[in-house]
Amino acid sequence: MLCTRVSRCLAGAALVAAAFVSGSRDGQAVMVATTTGNTTAPADDFGFANVVRRGGMTAIYLGDRWVLTAAHIGVGAITLNDGTGATYQMEAGSAHQLHNPAGSGATDLTDLVLYRVVADPGLPSLTISASPLGFNAKVFLVGQGYDRQETQVTWDVGGTYPSGDEWAWTELSLLGDVDLSGRVDQGDTSRIAKNWLQSGRTRADGDVNGDTVVDELDLAIVAANWGNEGDESGFKPLSTKTIRWGTNQIDSSSYEKVTLGAVDILAKRTTFDEEYGTEYECQAVTGDSGGGMFYKRDGQWELAGILNAVAIFPDQPNGASGAVFGNRTYISDLSQYRAEIVSIMAAAGGDATLAAIPEPAVLTLLSGAAIAVLLARWVRRHG
């Protein structure tokens, strides 16, 4: 049921291909609910170094000088995420926008582009998934999206919430919610009463203001926020970006055809879950376009997808630059595109004679570039 509504909303809503310009383009990451880390390869490395910067967005280095990214962010030089800032220019005329498979009922072209860089960055080659991921498959998502603020935010949402598309968001203070029930209420005053005038206490004991003493100052904060109960919660972005990985699970069994402006993608979907999330539950945000989805099948890491789009709530604060629980990430299912990728790469032949000649980063050329961001809105099923 929900799938139907989402698909309809994605198709019917005005998908925004916005010119997104920011003064800071020096890095970007998926937002992870449980950490602001994950900016280096995990112990079981899926291929973190192959995730590179493409302007203010992300691309994946496949091997043999080939790069794969989202078509809507455009082709061009890539910059490695290894601290050297080594940049590799695109080989002129090497770009191929990929096609949806015949018979898929989708548009001819899709939101993926494959191209070559002029020199070998010396990174390993990736394996592209030959078969789709199943429901609940645990995946790693990685990209150069906005960093998040440290503290989780809760909003009261009015307007037509929870249906319709005119939502009015008001940030709430749940400071007095010392028992973390999601509401400032009697559970919190009970804790305060139990520890009344005690010192050496923590927030969980009722010390709301952090002076370690439970007293009328804490009670006053609880009173001021009494009854506050959030409708939605999530994270606001910082202005900085970093390549970061997170985890999630596929929550669609087959691929979905998702329309992004003029093209369709055959996509897998993840949802940013507050409860029952994975260890590093994550959501793609602005800057993650072109990032990768990695999956370990029978002990072998695969590149299973490319991050293309997100679905966010109506009038969501910070748009696609923030992450609210319930948001979704749409990821091209590369098993649908593998045959074309492999045929293009094979036709060009390998090139072992090119030495690795990294050029210095030219960050000034990248800053201020117009970058398309695809936004999708959907209306959440309630209850």
Binding interface with Ca ion (CB under 5 A): 177, 179, 181, 185, 187-188, 207, 209, 211, 213, 218, 248, 271, 273
Within the chain, how many helices (H) and strands (E) appear?
Answer: 5, 24
Sign of CA dihedral 303, 308, 311, 312: positive
Instruction: Report the nearest approach of Ca ion to the CB of residue 369 (Å).
Output: 32
Q: How far is CA 73 from CA 24, 267, 276, 289, in A?
A: 17, 17, 33, 7
Nearer to Ca ion, 110 or 271 (CB): 271
Q: List Cβ neighbours of 72 (8 Å cut-off, separation of 6 or more).
A: 17, 111, 260, 261, 289, 308, 372, 374
Q: How far is CA 32 from CA 44, 96, 188, 236, 247, in A?
A: 18, 32, 28, 12, 8
Nearer to Ca ion, 171 or 216 (CB): 216
* Alpha-carbon gap, residue 128 to 342, rounded angstroms: 9
Instruction: Report the nearest approach of Ca ion to the CB of residue 270 (Å).
Output: 5
Instruction: Report the nearest approach of Ca ion to the CB of residue 146 (Å).
Output: 19
Determine the distance from the C-alpha atom of residue 55 to the mean position of all C-alpha atoms in its chain, rounded to a whole number. 17
Nearer to Ca ion, 251 or 315 (CB): 251
Instruction: Report the nearest approach of Ca ion to the CB of residue 198 (Å).
Output: 10
| Side-chain half-sphere exposure of 163, counting CA atoms within 13 A | 4
Give me the residue whose beta carbon is nearest to Ca ion.
181
Nearer to Ca ion, 218 or 302 (CB): 218
Nearer to Ca ion, 40 or 181 (CB): 181
Instruction: Report the nearest approach of Ca ion to the CB of residue 26 (Å).
Output: 29
Instruction: Report the nearest approach of Ca ion to the CB of residue 343 (Å).
Output: 34
Nearer to Ca ion, 233 or 367 (CB): 233
Nearer to Ca ion, 87 or 154 (CB): 154
* Alpha-carbon gap, residue 263 to 104, rounded angstroms: 13
Nearer to Ca ion, 34 or 209 (CB): 209
Instruction: Report the nearest approach of Ca ion to the CB of residue 76 (Å).
Output: 32
Instruction: Report the nearest approach of Ca ion to the CB of residue 211 (Å).
Output: 4
Nearer to Ca ion, 52 or 219 (CB): 219
Please give the structure tokens belonging to residue 369.
């570039």
Instruction: Report the nearest approach of Ca ion to the CB of residue 226 (Å).
Output: 10
| Side-chain half-sphere exposure of 233, counting CA atoms within 13 A | 16
In a 10 Å sphere around its CB, with 0-12 CB exposed, 13-18 middle and 19+ buried, how is residue 135 labelled? exposed
Q: For residue 83, how many other CB atoms are within 10 A of its CB?
A: 6
* Alpha-carbon gap, residue 118 to 225, rounded angstroms: 59
- 182: closest CA among 250, 275, 71? 275
- 335: closest CA among 232, 218, 250, 234? 250
